[in-house]
Amino acid sequence: MSVSHAQLKAFHAVAVHGSFTRAAERLYLTQPAVSDQVRKLEERFGVLLFHRNKRSVQLTDLGQRLLAITQRLFVAEAEAKELLQDSQALQTGSLVLAVDAPVHVLAQVARFCQLYPGINVRIETGNTDESLLRLFSYQADLALLGREVDDERLWSLTLCNDPMVAFVSRNHPWAERQSICLADLDDTPMVLRETGSVTRQIVEAEMHRAGLRIRPAIQVEGREAAREAVVAGIGVGVVSAAEFGADSRICALPIVDCQQRMTETLVCLREQRSRRIVATFLDLVLDNQQSHP
């Protein structure tokens, strides 16, 4: 009994994106068409691949096992397509980067876009855990992580290693200071990132090491939200020095006794390292590192 490629593709899209609607958008099909393909696949083999409810779909145990197979299938398909398109010199295709901090790769992305204008490049932002999840679920080709990850499935390249700085609004009592120490943050209202944020994990680890108390003023998702909360005077924020950026509304304060630093690591799945589009971007990054040590 043969398996329809279109049905497997529809199943894979729903499994990866967790929604028939989002799967339809990615496949440029209607939602009923995707639902019909998955239904036919289930009926053909007399199986249940998804638990469905009004708000979401969840993979069954069998669906999880099939997803592991379709992930390998469509990676191989992408590799075959790229091999056949080699003569086009990367004139078409797409590259998706899941990043925790775009600033660390924007220069390389800009150069890549100049060299290969036919490639559709997309940057998706999220914390390190979210970026890693996108990579492992084949929703991204590369991921930029705020920490080193020891996983044999990954090929990795360290981009930078930067100290942490606190930052406050220009009208904050600390605005005229040149630096602070961890003790200054003891029981001070702080703007904290979400739980999965490496920035937050570093702050919590350093304060715990020093035996100091963290006083959350607010928890926000993302660097931009943290910046705006600090500007509004809600509390003190913390970020890596490289990600502080230029903003006249706030000022940076080095934390002189903070031992941990923020490491940014670019990773891809080892099985995808040889894909031409991935290899080309990584080679560009490596060349940049060698020319700017």
In angstroms, rounded to a whole number, what is the distance separating the alpha carbons of residues 133 and 272?
16
> Does pLDDT of 150 surpass 90?
no
Question: What number is the average pLDDT over the span 10-37?
Answer: 92
Which CA distances in Å does 137 have to 27, 86, 121, 197, 292?
17, 26, 18, 20, 33
Q: How confident is the model at residue 157 (pLDDT cuts 50, 70, 90)?
A: very high
Question: What number is the average pLDDT over the span 228-236?
Answer: 95
**Whole-prediction pTM value?**
0.63
Q: How confident is the model at residue 154 (pLDDT cuts 50, 70, 90)?
A: very high
As given in the structure block, the two tokens for residue 27 are 């496949």
Give the residue from 289, 269, 277, 286 showing the smallest Cα distance to 143.
269
> Does pLDDT of 14 surpass 70?
yes
Question: What number is the average pLDDT over the span 151-168?
Answer: 91
In angstroms, rounded to a whole number, what is the distance separating the alpha carbons of residues 103 and 167?
18
> Does pLDDT of 293 surpass 70?
no
In this predicted structure, what is the pLDDT of residue 149?
Answer: 84
Quick check: 264 and 95 in contact, CB under 8 A? no
In this predicted structure, what is the pLDDT of residue 84?
Answer: 73
Question: What number is the average pLDDT over the span 66-72?
Answer: 93
> Does pLDDT of 55 surpass 80?
no
Which CA distances in Å does 144 have to 34, 54, 156?
32, 34, 9
Q: How confident is the model at residue 86 (pLDDT cuts 50, 70, 90)?
A: low
In this predicted structure, what is the pLDDT of residue 87?
Answer: 46
Question: What number is the average pLDDT over the span 266-279?
Answer: 91
Question: What number is the average pLDDT over the span 217-223?
Answer: 90
Name all domains of the chain by residue range, CATH numbers in brackets: 3-71 (1.10.10.10), 83-157+261-288 (3.40.190.10), 161-259 (3.40.190.10)
Give the residue from 163, 171, 180 showing the smallest Cα distance to 260.
163
